[in-house]
Structure 1
Amino acid sequence: MKRYNKKLSYLALAIASALTTNIALAEEANESTSAQDNSGLERIEVTARKTVETLQNVPVAVTSIGAEQLEQNGISVMTEVQQFSPNTTLQSSRGTNSTLTAFIRGVGQEDPLWGYEPGVGIYVDDVYIARPQGAVLDILDVERIEVLRGPQGSLYGKNTIGGAIKYVTKKMSGDAEFDIKATFGNYARQDYKVAGAVPVVDDKLYVGFALASLSRDGYGEFLQSGLPGQDLENYNKDVFAGRVTVEFTPTDDWFFRFNYDNTQDDSNAKGGYRLLPSIVTDAPIPDSVYDSYTSLPTKNVVENEGWSLTAEYYINDYWSLKSVTAARENYSPTNIDFDNTPLQIFDVPAIYDDEQFSQEIQLNYNGDNLSFVSGLYYFDGESCGHYDAIIFQSLTAEKSGCNNSESYAVYAQGSYNLTEKLSFTLGARYTEEEKYANVNDDLRFSIEYPESNWIPGYTRGDLPVTEVLNGNKTWSRFTPKVGVEYQVDEDMMVFASYSQGFKSGTFNPRASTNEPAVNPEIVDSVELGIKSEWFNQLRVNATVFALEHKDRQYKSVVPNEDPTVLDSRLGNIGQSEAIGLELEVEYAATESLSFNFALGYIDSEFTEVLSWNGNGYDDISDIYTVANTPDTTANFGVTYDIETSVGTFVINSNYYYRDDYALVELDNRLTQDAYGLLNLGINWYSNEGDWTAALHWKNITDEEYMVGAYDFTGGQDEEGNWLPGFGGDTTLIAYYGDPTTISLTIGYQF
């Protein structure tokens, strides 16, 4: 940790220097009005600490992207939010459009298989989304998206060791509303969105709804397929989503909100691009990175639905109670052709089936010198699945089972104003979690699919099942947070904090023996930050941080009583560290012209990964790389408003830069080079405020960039020749981000 302590001290000195300069400037500007009250800078509200606060007053590294900014930048899906949040990676995970890969500050989870827990928490209206399947949310009736960076263990609990993404939907205004939008673009894109709200009883009862049909042809195609009559579009989109909201305010003291949402994603399974020619087929490397081959059905389904009921009671001016009850379920039959050839070299048809229920009760206080949030939390989740790994065109390695969890937590976090300028934050959460797991493991000397009619005419028999793991384990964890904040003046705050988070312990979903569970992963993090506004026009927020990620869960050989037996198990064998800087700047140059800039820098590495050599443990951390984590991310944007006789035009453009980054943690043989995305938008608003139109041109330079990969090669020999790996082929596969897209959106509201 010495190397990181030294670098942290350098970063801290840089921040201290900036603070000294800023404080001097603040003294010169003492008589100016608060920037927060000036129209040049928008007042931004967030709920990062589970209560409404302004962005500039919350001592948390958080980025908030509001509905207007999302609309003017043409952001249609949650993964695009990564452009505006430093040190953040949000990608559609490999073989589907809807499965999320999320990393913040180098902390996340590569593998979306049931049983593995995410490292970044996803929340929709305070409801935790436990599984990554279906977590790539389309922007529908949203008020804002908040990105909280760093461990959020005290308030949000397990699986937020990297941070949390909060998707906040719009509350109803009290008036009758109706909004319709249609988007048309290249690749035959057609999106239709309708949203509305109706006051059933004035000032008491409102009903709202939002519907969306989102479709697009594929960016590429499947060039050969082992099955006739398939839809050969690759990277296409076919989504229908809906939401219903009921809000009820019977008295001034009570508020109820019921939400129901449903998403049906029938987009094709996504085929990867072979970076190496196959040594067992004659199919050449495709000309387009969006083209692929497959021997599986292209059909893919993600069904995701849930409901929540929020009740709030304002006891008096200081105290309030809040209850959030929610349930969700997901069903996803999917096809991933890992080798991406017309032969069954390594095909994995699979089913994911998840359910969850949660209940949270909060007791909150907001006084003159003291404010706190406290609560009780219960979670019950069932995460099950089944896959058939078809290899060598003749064998099927079958896995199935469940990793179910039940957890209870109690938490409290409060801030106390010791003086008018100095305050302290103290928070803690105690969690107790029990997991139940079973794994079935079978080898079939035939080709099998999870269900009958998975391919036309196929009938699955009543096959025997061999249970190899059946166990349960209970963990408890105390996760604290300590912070100090100093309000230099009404426009500047500095803060420092320590926080801890944990990712759940688990059982190996690919176990072949009755192996024990692994313990939770732990992240300890320290931060030093500043939030400031200057001269009614400039907002500067910065954070330096250092974190230690311990007990990382990886597969490894472990000691066995019989030295001739290689016992491969999931274990807590990894440790990594990171240090970094985040800077966010917004400058309102004039009433019409504004600039924004976001910069993230991180230096992360594995410091220890243990592997049993027969006599002891070797440290093999040199062959591990922190994946999905560029050293530098940056975004620069410009917005210009033009008032005319025919309406207002808002022109915006941004350039997003990502440094090179590894795509695979173990034996990384695939790195995405640094690249940049240039985007342009022209938005028009009628003088009456009812008509809107927007033209968006994204990835103008048509950059080709990888967002996911699979490496099943045997590596390279001394002469650089690729060796065959699992499945007997040289399988090195990449998935790519969107090419150049152009779209026109027309909207009408009344």
Structure 2
Amino acid sequence: MKTISLSKKPLAGVIAVAVALSGSNAVLASDKKIALEEVIVTAQKREQNMQEVPVAVTAFSADDLNNAGVQDVTEIQKSAPNVTMQVSRGTNTTLTAYVRGIGQADPLWGFEPGVGLYVDDVYLARPQGGVLDVYDVERIEVLRGPQGTLYGKNTIGGAVKYVTKRLTGEPELSISGALGSYNQRDIKIAGQMPLIEDKLLFGASVAQFKRDGFGEFLLNGDDNYNKDVTAARVSLEFLPTENLAFLFNADKTNDNSNAKGGHRMTPSKLLPAEPIPSDVFDSYADMATNNSVDSEGASLTVTWDINDSLVFKSITAYREGETFTNIDFDNTSFASAHVPAVYEDDQTTQEFQLSYSGDKLDVVGGLYYYEGTASGAFDVLLGAFDAYFTGLGYGPGNFDAVTAGSVDTTSYAAYVHATYAFNEAWALTLGGRYTIDEKSADVYKAQLMVDGMSGLLGGQDLNEIEVLTDYQNDNDWNQFSPRVSLDYRLSDDIMFYGSYSQGFKSGGFDMRGDASINPNTVNGYDPEIVDTYELGMKAELADGRIRLNAAVFYSDYTDMQVTVQESTDGGSNYASSVLNAGESEILGFELEAIAQLTENLSTSFMLGYIDAEYKSVETTVSNPDYDAVTNPSAPPTIVEDIADQWAFANTPEKTASLKLNYAKSLGNLGDIALSAGASYRSETQIFQVESAIDEGSYILWDASAVWYSADEHWTVGLHAKNITDEEYRVGGYNFDNLGAEEVVVGYYGNPRTVSLNFGYNF
């Protein structure tokens, strides 16, 4: 028999076997025909059947997440086409999110994301703390494409909605936990009860997630890639009348996991006797592993059903976060390139929303207000290189490159989104949002020598200081974001749609900007705009046993915010510039299919493809014809288009997944759900410019078995992730000249893990 090698055909390997998540729970209809369950989403800020929404959206229910043993939102990327959701380099809970090629690679304060993250309709403006653990959740939705009309700025790639469970008014208590690889030990407790029957409801949940490190810090034996997270949520719902509801939510998360050390991929010229670690999860980083990320917030949602057609909603929320972490950029035992950093942010949001639902017309409109501050500071301590800079006249003392600043943001927006059904077949959607965005920045950057510790950590007695950037400035931008969609329903089960939508990512100020090299940094940068055209189909075939959703899209991406960083001063500093220099085009398609093959067996398949290309990236470079003596009349700098040298970051050309699910009743012994599958990602470039940390294609294999007791009290699940122990990078740093040597550092996705999950509902 001929042997077929899948190693050279990874996509074929995925299609041939099985993957991640699905919404494929089946029910036995009254006529004994097997059908897929209806999936309800709130992608258009009202409850709808997912098959009736003219938006590319993937939804995961609590059962889907539980059956697959999903631990945090980053696992969603396994099952949503053209989506990247990963833990940012050098962090534990900062989220790197990309949808259809658009996102945010740099989590520095002051920069805006390209994918909006929402918890119960409250926008999370910063990616710190964005790697949300899955607990007490009802549903997660991933909306692809610009969502500027309903969700505002910074959703030009898409939006991720994390929806927690609502209170039911019935007394409930559940306890669940997990034991697994690397001494994983998780515990989750959730409960609710009526304080006043049908009037005042109370609920609370608490969770702790702990795990030893995948590797270690080789110098002191501390855990690397460990986990120590505690989270809690409280809900209180007051129902004074049948038409009026007040829902208060408060949550708090604390991450005390160790700071994450990177894997040095290049040998150190300064430490030739120190080998590259054989395990990618080990690190020679010599900084303290102290790390703390705190995030908390509260919201009050008031819902008033004015009549059968009209609903008013008010969402008031406040959130704040604080991060302290250490990053060793060279990741060796050499005392240099140490970066202690602190970030703080807070935000207050208010949304008033009015919804109308009629026989032919559905309208959602509202007013939105956002006020927030993001601030931070970090040092670049050179340690062992201090003697060198003392020789240049900076000393004696400790060299420190200090970057600090804050940005205040105030946004106002008004939006309307209306769908009119001409008849049973045709419907037109028109939407628009007008946003006013105001920002005020305070930026400081300096090189200095300090007796004792660094300036950030309390040092005094400055011997020498060179201020590179010191300014206060403000700017504002206005933007109208439209959406047009035309839907055609061929039958009750098949819908086609075509849409145009626009989104924008906010302008701002570069907190790392070096005014001594780039004086224009004090003026900030403008918003970037994306215009997307999409054709889609949503269908349920074979009497509801097959669900097939597909979309093809084209995006025109202009005024792109391009970040360029160059080594200066012999590697002691990096000059940052953010320019509106880029234009690009993105073409792609997405396919999602679920089929209920028998009463017990189902399969799900996903395929995403992106062809993203930079058309223009203009940057200022030194003019090779300029010479102060022989050719002083030539300009010292010229503008050069380097689009052919760039590619899209964190955007694999192909993503795919395939999964088999088997569910069967065991009678008095309960029910069992089995699943197995694989997810595939093609080659991924980590930065815009090709580098040594770019990752090749890879496949992750997962399998799960979950048992539910007949009395619905007990749940036991066995989950295996990355069964083949695939080694794959998700981020890193690439410095051509850091401390006079090339430094390439990689950060990696989780290795093979196995966990035994259990739960009891009282």
Task: Give the deviation of 1:448 after TM superposition.
Answer: 4.3
Kindly provide the amino acid, as one letter, of the partner of residue 284 in structure 1: P
Match of 2:592 in 1: 584
Q: Does the residue aligned with 2:153 lie in a helix, a strand or coil?
A: coil
Superposition TM-score, scaled by structure 1 size? 0.89
Q: Map of 1:616-695 to 2, 5 A cutoff? A: 616-644=638-666, 645-695=668-718
Task: State the alpha-carbon separation in 1 of the partners of residues 752 and 460 from structure 2.
Answer: 47
Task: State the alpha-carbon separation in 2 of the partners of residues 37 and 553 from structure 1.
Answer: 56
Q: Is the 8 A contact 2:501 2:531 kept in 1?
A: yes
Task: State the alpha-carbon separation in 2 of the partners of residues 162 and 129 from structure 1.
Answer: 15
Greater CA drift, 492-501 or 247-256: 247-256
- Pick one of 232, 243, 247 that aligns with 1:257: 247
Q: Deviations over 1:139-185 (max 9, x none)?
A: 01000100000010111011001000000000112211101001000
Q: Does the residue aligned with 1:224 lie in a helix, a strand or coil?
A: coil
Q: Is the 8 A contact 1:356 1:379 kept in 2?
A: yes
Q: Does 1:270 align with 2:270?
A: no
Q: Map of 1:174-323 to 2, 5 A cutoff? A: 174-224=169-219, 232-281=222-271, 282-323=273-314
- Could you tell me which runs of 5 or more consecutive residues in structure 2 were left unpaired when the two chains were aligned: 1-27, 387-398, 567-573, 624-634
Match of 1:7 in 2: none
Q: Is the 8 A contact 2:514 2:575 kept in 1?
A: no
Q: Deviations over 1:623-680 (max 9, x none)?
A: 2220111111011111101222422111111211111110111343432111101101
Change (3 A) 1:316 1:333: same
Q: Is the 8 A contact 2:322 2:344 kept in 1?
A: yes
- Pick one of 495, 498, 511 that aligns with 2:497: 495
Task: State the alpha-carbon separation in 1 of the partners of residues 409 and 689 from structure 2.
Answer: 28
Change (3 A) 1:171 1:557: closer
Task: Give the deviation of 1:462 after TM superposition.
Answer: 7.4
- Pick one of 731, 734, 737 that aligns with 2:743: 731
- Pick one of 136, 145, 153 that aligns with 1:150: 145
Kindly provide the amino acid, as one letter, of the partner of residue 677 in structure 1: L
Task: State the alpha-carbon separation in 2 of the partners of residues 438 and 499 from structure 1.
Answer: 34
Q: Is the 8 A contact 1:388 1:448 kept in 2?
A: no
Q: Deviations over 1:687-729 (max 9, x none)?
A: 100011000011100000000011002xxxxxxxxxxx12222
Task: State the alpha-carbon separation in 1 of the partners of residues 422 and 246 from structure 2.
Answer: 35
Q: Is the 8 A contact 2:374 2:408 kept in 1?
A: yes
Q: Does the residue aligned with 1:661 lie in a helix, a strand or coil?
A: coil
Alpha-carbon RMSD: 2.0
Q: Deviations over 1:423-454 (max 9, x none)?
A: 101000000011000111121224744654xx
Q: Deviations over 1:112-156 (max 9, x none)?
A: 001111010000000000001000000010001000000101110
Match of 2:478 in 1: 476
Q: Does 1:548 align with 2:548?
A: no
Q: Map of 1:374-413 to 2, 5 A cutoff? A: 374-391=365-382, 393=384, 394=386, 395-413=399-417
Q: Does the residue aligned with 1:684 lie in a helix, a strand or coil?
A: strand
Task: State the alpha-carbon separation in 1 of the partners of residues 146 and 346 from structure 2.
Answer: 25
Match of 1:706 in 2: 729
Kindly provide the amino acid, as one letter, of the partner of residue 746 in structure 1: F
Task: State the alpha-carbon separation in 2 of the partners of residues 555 and 142 from structure 1.
Answer: 36
Task: State the alpha-carbon separation in 2 of the partners of residues 646 and 304 from structure 1.
Answer: 42
Q: Does 1:417 align with 2:417?
A: no
Q: Is the 8 A contact 2:716 2:758 kept in 1?
A: yes
Task: Give the deviation of 1:91 after TM superposition.
Answer: 0.3
Q: Is the 8 A contact 1:273 1:734 kept in 2?
A: yes
Q: Does 1:460 align with 2:451?
A: no
- Pick one of 79, 82, 89 that aligns with 2:84: 89
Q: Is the 8 A contact 2:448 2:466 kept in 1?
A: no
Kindly provide the amino acid, as one letter, of the partner of residue 506 in structure 1: G
- Pick one of 520, 525, 530 that aligns with 2:532: 525
Kindly provide the amino acid, as one letter, of the partner of residue 327 in structure 1: Y
Kindly provide the amino acid, as one letter, of the partner of residue 527 in structure 1: E
Q: Is the 8 A contact 1:35 1:41 kept in 2?
A: no
Q: Is the 8 A contact 1:440 1:465 kept in 2?
A: no
Task: Give the deviation of 1:404 after TM superposition.
Answer: 1.5
Task: State the alpha-carbon separation in 1 of the partners of residues 31 and 292 from structure 2.
Answer: 46
Kindly provide the amino acid, as one letter, of the partner of residue 297 in structure 1: A
Q: Does the residue aligned with 1:649 lie in a helix, a strand or coil?
A: strand
Task: State the alpha-carbon separation in 2 of the partners of residues 609 and 34 from structure 1.
Answer: 56
Task: State the alpha-carbon separation in 2 of the partners of residues 444 and 582 from structure 1.
Answer: 52
Q: Does the residue aligned with 2:349 lie in a helix, a strand or coil?
A: strand
Kindly provide the amino acid, as one letter, of the partner of residue 520 in structure 1: P
Q: Is the 8 A contact 2:487 2:498 kept in 1?
A: yes
Q: Is the 8 A contact 1:625 1:668 kept in 2?
A: no
Greater CA drift, 51-60 or 464-473: 464-473
Task: State the alpha-carbon separation in 1 of the partners of residues 528 and 697 from structure 2.
Answer: 30
Q: Deviations over 1:364-415 (max 9, x none)?
A: 1110000011000000010000000123632211000002210100000110
Identity, % of aligned positions: 45
Task: State the alpha-carbon separation in 2 of the partners of residues 448 and 344 from structure 1.
Answer: 14
Q: Deviations over 1:503-558 (max 9, x none)?
A: 00011111232621110011110100000001220000000001121111124599
Kindly provide the amino acid, as one letter, of the partner of residue 554 in structure 2: A
Task: Give the deviation of 1:593 after TM superposition.
Answer: 0.8
Task: State the alpha-carbon separation in 1 of the partners of residues 246 and 677 from structure 2.
Answer: 40
Q: Is the 8 A contact 1:40 1:590 kept in 2?
A: no
Task: State the alpha-carbon separation in 1 of the partners of residues 56 and 557 from structure 2.
Answer: 19
Q: Is the 8 A contact 1:392 1:727 kept in 2?
A: no
Q: Does 1:443 align with 2:465?
A: no
Superposition TM-score, scaled by structure 2 size? 0.88
Kindly provide the amino acid, as one letter, of the partner of residue 367 in structure 2: L
Task: State the alpha-carbon separation in 1 of the partners of residues 582 and 332 from structure 2.
Answer: 34
Task: State the alpha-carbon separation in 2 of the partners of residues 358 and 232 from structure 1.
Answer: 40
Task: State the alpha-carbon separation in 1 of the partners of residues 164 and 34 from structure 2.
Answer: 25
Task: Give the deviation of 1:322 after TM superposition.
Answer: 0.4
Q: Does the residue aligned with 1:662 lie in a helix, a strand or coil?
A: coil
Change (3 A) 1:462 1:306: farther
Q: Does the residue aligned with 2:66 lie in a helix, a strand or coil?
A: helix
Q: Deviations over 1:296-322 (max 9, x none)?
A: 110110000000100010111111100
Aligned length: 689
Task: State the alpha-carbon separation in 1 of the partners of residues 593 and 31 from structure 2.
Answer: 15
Task: State the alpha-carbon separation in 2 of the partners of residues 428 and 139 from structure 1.
Answer: 33
Q: Is the 8 A contact 1:635 1:654 kept in 2?
A: yes
Task: Give the deviation of 1:589 after TM superposition.
Answer: 1.1
Q: Does 1:434 align with 2:446?
A: no
- Pick one of 127, 130, 136 that aligns with 1:132: 127
Match of 1:20 in 2: none
- Could you tell me which runs of 5 or more consecutive residues in structure 1 were left unpaired when the two chains were aligned: 1-32, 226-230, 453-458, 559-565, 714-724
Match of 1:365 in 2: 356
